[in-house]
């Protein structure tokens, strides 16, 4: 993930002597990874433009910083408040978001998308654009020197019977295909949007916050992972234990928080002033 230092051959001449070459190593530019979650695009039509404009400005601020290089952007679920993909009926909002991602991919930045409980119903649109970097289940991977567990975090709700049933239907390819075969797009896309607005609150719930923290500590304690990355809580968090670190993005919709990862640290930041909330 990190680039090797380049070397420049410099010719040095000493008066009255022969010339010789000396290899001078150039300074390696450190790389960064940004993680966003819980944008809930489509929840409030009058906020979608500012959500994307602010995110673009936040990312562009990193692109314009010569002291670091933005290497990867990760979306950790609930990018959309409700996403039901009909391959032949892609919304303007989805296209706008996809075009933004494409502009970063063209600059050599890796982009990945981990689905959440509000946007699990994907077919091929983002999978093709992201070169299969669309993840429907939790992922373990290396991030710099750490072994990381990445997930939106809604699997924590599957600890209850109600949660297991809901997650089964939401994550089942069979029920997704059946749903989109039976219902036309104008109906099929409106139903999950109505359910989300009717029943899914946006304010942080202590039960969810505590559940995610407990689940993260269990993962750190019982696996080879030393970094757990969640969204879903709508409240940022950073907790260190003897086994590793749990960190939560918070909600981009509610407070413009996100995660910045460098080789040295994993930090929650606010877009408005780039002020660190945790170190």
- Residue 149 in domain: yes
Domain that holds residue 45: 7-270
- Residue 188 in domain: yes
- Residue 231 in domain: yes
Instruction: Decide if pLDDT at 192 tops 80.
Output: yes
- Residue 88 in domain: yes
What CATH number should be reported for the domain holding residue 250? 3.60.21.10
- Residue 279 in domain: no
Task: State the total domains in the chain.
Answer: 1
- Residue 265 in domain: yes
Instruction: Decide if pLDDT at 203 tops 60.
Output: yes
Instruction: Decide if pLDDT at 274 tops 90.
Output: no
Helix H or strand E segment including 186: helix 185-188
Rounded CA-CA distance 258/248 in Å is 8
- Residue 278 in domain: no
Instruction: Decide if pLDDT at 278 tops 60.
Output: no
Q: What is the pLDDT of residue 159?
A: 59
Contacts of 110 (CB under 8 A, 6+ apart): 71, 72, 73, 133
Q: What is the pLDDT of residue 49?
A: 96
Rounded CA-CA distance 269/279 in Å is 10
Q: What is the mean pLDDT of residues 208-219?
A: 96
Q: What is the pLDDT of residue 161?
A: 67
| pTM for the model | 0.86
Rounded CA-CA distance 237/139 in Å is 20
Instruction: Decide if pLDDT at 14 tops 70.
Output: no
- Residue 111 in domain: yes
Instruction: Decide if pLDDT at 256 tops 90.
Output: yes
Q: DSSP readout, 106-158? A: TTT-EEEEE--SSS-B--SHHHHHTTT-EESS-EEEEETTEEEEE--SGGGGG
């Amino acid at each position: 993930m990190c680039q090797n230092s380049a070397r420049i051959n410099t010719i040095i001449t000493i008066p009255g002597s022969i010339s010789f070459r000396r290899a001078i190593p150039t300074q390696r530019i450190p790389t960064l990874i940004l993680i966003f979650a819980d944008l809930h695009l489509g929840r409030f039509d009058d906020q979608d433009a500012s959500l994307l404009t602010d995110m673009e400005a936040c990312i562009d601020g990193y692109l314009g910083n010569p002291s670091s290089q933005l290497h990867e952007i990760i979306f950790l679920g609930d990018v959309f408040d409700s996403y039901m993909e009909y391959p032949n009926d892609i919304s303007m909002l989805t296209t706008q978001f996809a075009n933004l991602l494409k502009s970063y991919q063209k600059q050599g930045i890796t982009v990945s998308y981990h689905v959440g409980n509000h946007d699990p119903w994907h077919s091929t649109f983002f999978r093709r654009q992201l070169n299969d970097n669309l993840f429907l289940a939790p992922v373990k991977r290396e991030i710099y020197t750490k072994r990381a567990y990445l997930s939106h975090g809604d699997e924590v709700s599957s600890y209850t019977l109600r949660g297991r049933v809901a997650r089964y239907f939401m994550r089942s390819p069979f029920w997704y295909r059946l749903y989109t075969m039976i219902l036309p797009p104008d109906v099929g896309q409106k139903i999950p949007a109505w359910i989300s607005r009717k029943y899914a609150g946006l304010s942080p719930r202590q039960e969810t916050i505590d559940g995610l923290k407990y689940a993260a500590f269990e993962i750190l304690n019982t696996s080879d992972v030393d970094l757990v990355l969640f969204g879903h809580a709508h409240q940022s968090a950073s907790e260190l234990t003897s086994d590793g670190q749990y960190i939560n993005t918070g909600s981009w919709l509610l407070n413009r928080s996100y995660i910045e990862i460098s080789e040295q640290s994993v930090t929650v930041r606010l877009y408005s002033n780039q002020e660190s909330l945790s170190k």
